[in-house]
Structure 1
């Protein structure tokens, strides 16, 4: 039973010596959230009034510092005590205080977003980073330089903009009334719209600083062969676009590995390109047949964070982050950790391509690939500074169409749409003695939970027996659910999931037996641990799930008549540091 109530979280300041708080509301009652500070045990006043005038700047100065927020609708919960519940924040160690990332405050009230019109803002075309001109690079470099020259307390500054990602993605906020629950815009249906809003305002600030409102940021076209290398403008060490905290092994001419697992693949360039294209097909086509699967699991106020990512957020989003980060840094900064990723200008090009994929996905199948219609998603809102700088509240429903935001993407080829993965084994090989022995040795569903310290197979019963009709498959997707995934937020982790693979090690590059992957990009920050309801002994873990569409894969594996399948989980990163609660297959509309 959903309500129209909403949750707000506002970032505050970079300072680690002064506590910054944030206020928000649920409809019909209000509650607050705070940005974690460096003082241990800081909490909101328990006897503060239930209702507050958010537009009173004096109250804002007394109680909190205003800044960008996120609202997400919530389900109704049992009525609580009328007084405001405590918001607890655990103090960070000295080592982590440097990472406090609450952005600058605002004393002015937020205004609702108004879509720009053609008269006020030209239609901008975001170009592929590998194809831009020298003049474009010079202007882009000047814009980033201008942002970096601004003082940190200017919300348009590069450091303040980078802190937006840190604050929203690394546990800076907890809503009052839900103690110990962090606000997180990754691993759920908030992933795509949050980052679209973030890039939109970042781009508007850039255009303002270079005096060109038509300026559009580039996208890293890593899904096509011509863009699979680090764009040259980011590799120039004399440029403002360069970041020394990257993996030195992965500069030009190294091809990116969109399924990177922390080790260097032994591919020729041709094999790497083919592998990447098959990865893109799997994530964008096979695993994304419906809106609920593509966008990720629903996440409403009061829910635990990390309800479950969509396929593109897992791969290639996660591996690209890790591939770029510097392994010599303590937490693979910059790109390899969410708290620091925004410090690398490459981050914005990476996420521009992720944003582009949202539009591309909708164009692949206009009938089935539509935006979500759940009002709890559409009414979720965020607050960002614009180029003036004015605090602006923008809702998910405001950003569904890039045209309404006055930007589009350069039209480039999509070779991965024809790169359907192929089956490694023979179609009838499950009848072979070796395959029968492997299936017999597999665990049963009741053998979980487990710690994933080695390749583990499990026999999973399908919810329907026998081959389904085309109409049945169109209305219901068989979905493999890896449930109760637990991992420490600081751990870079990845495991692959295979279906009916005789020998997972022999599955070819981008082979059809590979159903998908789970990726955890580390979430290291300066606000202590235990903000996700304390999963793990140290309270620093996350708990989530992985959902993988199976219809197309079962067709290709000729397994549609089977009563069960053998699922194999193979740890790639973080071996022995990931727990699995269970494996099942269910039908999803």
Structure 2
């Protein structure tokens, strides 16, 4: 979520400007841990997963503030450890649409004030700081896949083509596996630094906005079961986790209609390190498996491809 998001759009998500279609695609942090923590701390006995499990009610739970303080810490670490140029950590973007985006808040005197994003980038100016402590997890890597356990993209592609390949678009009512061609193989370290190889899961459509949705994305895992066994973490590219943003109203046709409106989005995962860790950087194709964890029957995926992000 932090060290795996080497490029700004992988951490932040896709740009969203006036006139764009909504939900162009969240960043790594928005999905995990942000979305999953909301679901895990919501109450399944409540009609909408209140409090933390739904957008409208989340801030009623005191854990909301601890959770979002930790999200802010992740944001701080990403800026200072990965993208720090000693210039208030803003070098990751000069995009005025983002820097000058404004939000309205009530201050301590109940006055309506307008704040821009660029006004909130310097924690010193906001008069707070995070304790400087060891972060052993920041550069930690999953246990590398042993040579005898590694499934190459070529071998996995041959196996899946003969057995369980899925044509897209497809619904995630079970594990969906597809063979994805890689435009470049065995890239140099310089080329990898210049452009991150990004796995794009496109055309994600969610038909029920009342439910929490989650699915995991694996590369060259022979099966959903294998993905959770030895070396499984090294093969995991990431997850998509979407918390409900609508409320189910009793007899409320308007809320029901909104809840059934299809959400269309996409997900992107940097996979340079994953391919190196699993010995697959030389393969011309990889097998991507989408493993549903929650409400997969409401999700359709349109396509999977490789892009390169500078």
TM-score normalised per structure 1: 0.48
Matched, 1:512 2:245: no
Matched, 1:545 2:266: yes
Aligned partners of 1:396 and 1:432: how far apart in 2?
A: 42
Question: 2:197 pairs with 455, 478, 502, which one?
Answer: 478
Matched, 1:308 2:25: yes
Matched, 1:297 2:7: no
Question: 2:255 pairs with 528, 537, 543, which one?
Answer: 528
Within 5 A, what are the aligned runs for 1:14-413?
Answer: 283-286=1-4, 288-366=5-83, 370-413=91-134
Q: By how many angstroms is 1:484 displaced? A: 1.0
Aligned partners of 1:443 and 1:340: how far apart in 2?
A: 41
**Conserved 8 A contact 2:170-2:176:** no
Q: By how many angstroms is 1:448 displaced? A: 1.4
Which residue in the other structure is 1:266 paired with?
Answer: none
Aligned partners of 1:343 and 1:429: how far apart in 2?
A: 46
Gaps of 5+ in 1: 1-282, 532-537
**Conserved 8 A contact 1:459-1:564:** yes
Larger radius of gyration: 1
Aligned partners of 2:193 and 2:54: how far apart in 1?
A: 38
CA RMSD between the two structures: 2.3
Q: Secondary structure at the match of 1:505?
A: helix
Aligned partners of 2:45 and 2:269: how far apart in 1?
A: 33
**Conserved 8 A contact 2:123-2:129:** yes
After superposition, the C-alpha distances for 1:172-209 in whole angstroms (9 at most, x for unaligned) are xxxxxxxxxxxxxxxxxxxxxxxxxxxxxxxxxxxxxx
Which residue in the other structure is 1:461 paired with?
Answer: 181
Aligned partners of 1:475 and 1:322: how far apart in 2?
A: 36
Matched, 1:420 2:147: no
**Conserved 8 A contact 1:494-1:518:** yes
Which residue in the other structure is 1:60 paired with?
Answer: none
Which residue in the other structure is 1:267 paired with?
Answer: none
**Conserved 8 A contact 1:498-1:513:** yes
Aligned partners of 1:522 and 1:325: how far apart in 2?
A: 11
Aligned partners of 2:153 and 2:261: how far apart in 1?
A: 45
Q: Secondary structure at the match of 1:518?
A: strand
Q: Secondary structure at the match of 2:43?
A: coil
Question: 2:168 pairs with 419, 428, 448, which one?
Answer: 448
CA distance 1:427–1:467, change in 2 (3 Å):
farther
Q: Secondary structure at the match of 2:197?
A: strand
Q: Considering fraction of residues, name the structure with more strand.
A: 2
Gaps of 5+ in 2: none
Q: By how many angstroms is 1:303 displaced? A: 1.6
Q: Could you say which structure has the greater relative contact order, defined with CA pairs below 8 angstroms and 6 or more residues apart?
A: 2
Q: Secondary structure at the match of 2:225?
A: helix
Question: 2:216 pairs with 474, 493, 496, which one?
Answer: 496
**Conserved 8 A contact 1:461-1:585:** yes
**Conserved 8 A contact 2:98-2:117:** yes
